[in-house]
Amino acid sequence: MGINKIIGYVLSLLGLAFFVASSKTMIAKIALSFPFMANIKPLYIMITAVILVIIGIVLIMSEGTTKTEADVPIYDKSGKKVVGYRRTR
C-alpha cells in the first residue's frame, strides 16, 4: 500500500470525524474541552469535512497499478530455444 493511499484513508477518516463533529450537540460537547469551537459555525466544519473526504478519495483513487513493460521471449524457428527477449508496451 502506497503512502498516498495511507494519507488518503487518514484524510477521509478525519473528514468523517469532522462531519460527525459538525452537529450542534457534538459542538456543544467539544466546546467544553475546546472553548474556541463554540465560535465556529457548523456549516464551516461541514464544508471542511466534505473537502477532506474528497481529497482523501482522490488520493486513494489516484494511485493505480503501474504497468511495467514485460519481456516476451523470442524463440528460434523450431520454437524450442529462446534466442532473445522483446519488450512490449
Among candidate residues 48, 57, 39, 58, the one with its CA nearest the CA of residue 20: 48
Q: Is the confidence at residue 28, as pLDDT, over 90? A: no
Q: Is the confidence at residue 21, as pLDDT, over 80? A: yes
pLDDT at 68: 65
Q: Which helix (H) or strand (E) holds 19?
A: helix 3-21
Size of the chain in residues = 89
Q: Which helix (H) or strand (E) holds 32?
A: helix 24-33
**pLDDT digits over 34-89, tens only?**
888 778 888 998 999 999 999 999 988 886 655 567 888 889 888 889 998 888 76
CA atoms within 13 Å, Cβ hemisphere of 78: 4
Among candidate residues 23, 30, 13, the one with its CA nearest the CA of residue 45: 23
Task: Name which residue leads in pLDDT, 83 or 28.
Answer: 83
